[in-house]
């Protein structure tokens, strides 16, 4: 697309114009003083062509637990929209081209604390979101106004929830120059409305716009855009409340108390790897935990994070020891958050966004990867729960559920469940077959917990979902009886793993990882290093992490180095809970 000045080309840019149609299921009150609520399928593109904006976010009807819904500006509008028969669900559901999308992802604040926002810098972050199974990013308070952010979300198929720069109600100042604020709003709408990834506008973080701005926002979005939902608040309004943001030692509370509806913020601690910590601070500040850790956000450790690590795995004696143990905690907590939402899929959960998925700087909290692109236990835990076909154990009642978030049915799927002791004894084994319906959740009725309930030593529960020769999902949990710990992990010998290259091209390397020992290899993390420079290569993507290989087991893994720095000679490097650290294979 060219810009001409006096018939002479003055600028030339490439622009993207995507085609998609987004609609939104929402519960709306017919009138403020009536109990008549209607669940509609609102399509802004169709509605706003011939009608005014249909409801008033300022006139709200409060439901139970603080949830509220807006009211139609004209009662007759309820009969002019497609209606969903079940009006018991107040929460937002996003549909793309008529298909309900289970929204999973995270919040994105600043792109980078030093404003390094080149495509080279930004693309690996968005790619990591895609590979984690995330399909939505909330551009929190509109922090990113970079074209490359919107371009990359288009390219990787990531939906954008875009706030304006109107921060938290009751905590931050209101805009003084409202005309200037609205001029900026209009500029941003015009600038980014061509991006198909952008589907929701929201005025601010955790609150409603003041009435005089609310009216102007509705008018601007309806007239200038007209294809997207404007939602009046990032919480409560057809949404669950945001948070909590603290560490939960008992992960079952995500299932029993927290999982509900569509949530735009839910977070916990996420200490990075020891290698990243060494980049964050001087050697003298790495251990014991002190002021520099707190400067990097670890003051939230009062939530019981450190206490839980020490009680479950034994008191940490060094920074690497603490970070090693933290990755198992990070994995479990992030997996549990998403699995709690999985367990109530469409009854009535419809979306979960982490606070946060992307870090703007070196931090110890609220992130799935660290600022240097290193993938942590938090990343792989979230990725496991967000795989398209997924089998899981619900931690609150130890039942087994399967989730299919694709649009495809699968018939006669094999479900295999096994439990292993630390000495590799098979404690339990059972198989059954089920059908997987598209975009749904179902239960698998097995009785393993009745047979293992009184086990007071650690055991590995491994769940598999198999379609002929294809493993659709492999998920595993280290469990122990009530009050038990995993301190016996510390008594295990360190295992040396083996890797065999299977295939490789310029971007992808597949290899077989084998545990040749008689000891379980726990919490396996794969890195890639530049042999000549003796330096870890980042960014890089490895298909799985923080898993266990029992004695003589093997697993196929894939390294994706499309966006990685090039090297003459690469090394596959292993580390983990009881893993001998070092290079186990090289390739060119």
Q: Give the tens place of pLDDT for each residue, 219-278.
A: 999 999 999 999 999 999 999 999 999 999 999 999 999 999 999 999 999 999 999 999
Strands 159-163 and 198-202: parallel
From start to end of 53-122, where are the E strands? 55-62, 68-72, 83-84, 93-96, 99-101, 103-108
Whole-number mean pLDDT of the chain? 95
Using 50, 70 and 90 to split pLDDT, how confident is the model at 301? low
What the block records as the tokens of 44 is: 């802004």
Q: Which pLDDT does position 184 carry in this prediction?
A: 98
Cα(360)–Cα(534) distance, integer angstroms: 27
Q: Which CATH superfamily is domain 494-587 in?
A: Immunoglobulins (2.60.40.10)
Please say if the pLDDT value at position 85 is more than 80.
yes
At the top level of CATH, which class does the domain 389-490 belong to?
Answer: mainly beta
* Residues forming CATH 2.60.40.10 domain(s) in the chain: 389-490, 494-587
What the block records as the tokens of 208 is: 């409603």
What the block records as the tokens of 535 is: 């330096």
Please say if the pLDDT value at position 410 is more than 70.
yes
For the residues 104-111, what does the mean pLDDT come to? 97
Q: Which pLDDT does position 452 carry in this prediction?
A: 87
Q: Which pLDDT does position 10 carry in this prediction?
A: 64
**3-class secondary structure, 210:** coil
Q: Which pLDDT does position 586 carry in this prediction?
A: 99
Q: How far is CA 334 from CA 86, 139, 246, 251, in A?
A: 31, 20, 12, 9
Cα(3)–Cα(357) distance, integer angstroms: 38
What the block records as the tokens of 199 is: 């589907």
The fraction of the chain above a pLDDT of 70, given in percent, is 96
Cα(1)–Cα(84) distance, integer angstroms: 42
How many Cα atoms are found within 13 Å in the side-chain-facing hemisphere of 558?
Answer: 8
Q: Which pLDDT does position 415 carry in this prediction?
A: 98
Task: Read off the pTM.
Answer: 0.96
Please say if the pLDDT value at position 557 is more than 80.
yes
Cα(391)–Cα(444) distance, integer angstroms: 9
Cα 219 versus chain centre, distance: 33
Q: Give the tens place of pLDDT for each residue, 494-540.
A: 999 999 999 999 899 999 999 999 999 999 999 999 999 999 999 99
Cα(23)–Cα(41) distance, integer angstroms: 6
Q: Give the tens place of pLDDT for each residue, 197-217.
A: 999 999 999 999 999 999 999
What the block records as the tokens of 316 is: 């940490």
**3-class secondary structure, 310:** helix
Using 50, 70 and 90 to split pLDDT, how confident is the model at 300? low
Q: Give the tens place of pLDDT for each residue, 14-73.
A: 665 556 799 999 999 999 998 999 999 999 999 999 999 999 999 999 998 789 999 999
Q: Give the tens place of pLDDT for each residue, 333-384.
A: 999 999 999 999 999 999 999 999 999 999 999 999 999 999 999 999 999 9
Q: Which residue has the tokens 């004894």?
A: 425
* Residue 333 near residue 248 (C-beta atoms within 8 A): yes
* Residue 369 near residue 120 (C-beta atoms within 8 A): no
């Amino acid at each position: 697309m060219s810009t001409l000045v006096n018939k002479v080309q003055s600028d030339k840019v490439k622009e993207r114009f995507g085609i998609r149609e987004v609609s939104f299921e929402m519960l709306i009150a017919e009138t403020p003083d009536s109990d008549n609520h209607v669940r509609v399928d609102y399509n802004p593109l169709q509605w706003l062509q011939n009608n005014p904006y249909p409801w008033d976010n300022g006139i709200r009807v409060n439901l139970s637990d603080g949830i509220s819904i807006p009211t139609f500006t004209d009662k007759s509008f309820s009969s002019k929209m497609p209606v969903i028969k079940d009006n018991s669900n107040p929460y937002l559901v996003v549909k793309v081209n008529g298909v309900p999308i289970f929204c999973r992802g995270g919040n994105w604040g600043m792109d980078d604390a030093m404003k390094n926002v080149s495509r080279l810098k930004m693309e690996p972050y968005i790619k990591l979101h895609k590979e984690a199974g995330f399909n939505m990013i909330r551009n929190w308070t509109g922090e990113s106004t970079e074209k490359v952010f919107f371009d990359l979300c288009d390219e990787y198929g990531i939906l954008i929830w875009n706030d304006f720069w109107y921060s938290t109600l009751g905590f931050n100042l209101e805009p003084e120059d409202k005309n200037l604020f609205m001029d900026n709003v209009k500029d941003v709408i015009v600038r980014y409305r061509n991006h198909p990834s952008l589907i929701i506008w929201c005025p601010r973080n955790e609150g409603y716009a003041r009435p005089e701005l609310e009216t102007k926002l509705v008018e601007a979005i309806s007239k200038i855009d007209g294809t997207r939902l404007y939602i009046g608040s990032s919480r409560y309004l057809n949404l669950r409340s945001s948070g909590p943001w603290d560490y939960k030692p008992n992960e079952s509370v995500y299932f029993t108390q927290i999982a509900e509806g569509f949530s735009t913020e839910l977070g916990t601690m996420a200490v990075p790897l020891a290698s990243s910590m060494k980049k964050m601070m001087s050697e003298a500040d790495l251990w014991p935990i002190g002021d520099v850790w707190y400067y990097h956000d670890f003051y939230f450790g009062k939530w019981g994070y450190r206490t839980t690590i020490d009680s479950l795995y034994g008191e940490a004696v060094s920074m690497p020891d603490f970070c090693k143990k933290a990755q198992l905690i990070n994995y479990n907590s992030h997996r549990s958050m998403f699995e709690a939402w999985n367990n109530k899929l469409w009854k009535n959960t419809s979306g979960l966004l982490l606070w946060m998925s992307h870090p703007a700087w070196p931090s110890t909290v609220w992130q799935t990867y660290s600022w240097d692109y290193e993938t942590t236990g938090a990343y792989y835990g979230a990725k496991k729960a967000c795989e398209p076909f997924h089998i899981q154990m619900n931690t609150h009642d130890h039942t087994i559920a399967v989730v299919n978030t694709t649009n495809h049915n699968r018939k006669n799927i094999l479900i295999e469940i096994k439990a292993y002791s630390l000495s590799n004894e098979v404690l339990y084994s059972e198989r059954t077959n089920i059908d997987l319906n598209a975009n749904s959740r179902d239960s698998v009725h097995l009785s393993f917990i009745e047979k293992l309930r009184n086990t007071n030593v650690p055991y590995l529960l491994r769940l598999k979902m198999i379609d002929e020769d294809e493993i659709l999902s492999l998920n595993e949990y280290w469990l122990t009886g009530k009050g038990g710990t995993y301190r016996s992990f510390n008594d295990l010998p360190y295992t040396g793993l083996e890797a065999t290259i299977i295939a490789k091209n310029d971007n992808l390397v597949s290899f077989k990882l084998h545990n040749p020992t008689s000891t379980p290899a726990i919490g396996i993390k794969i890195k890639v290093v530049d042999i000549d420079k003796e330096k870890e290569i980042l960014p890089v993507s490895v298909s799985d992490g923080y898993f266990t290989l029992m004695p003589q087991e093997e697993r196929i893994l894939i390294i994706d180095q499309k966006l990685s720095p090039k090297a003459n000679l690469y090394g596959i490097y292993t580390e983990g809970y009881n893993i001998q650290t070092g290079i186990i294979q090289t390739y060119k």
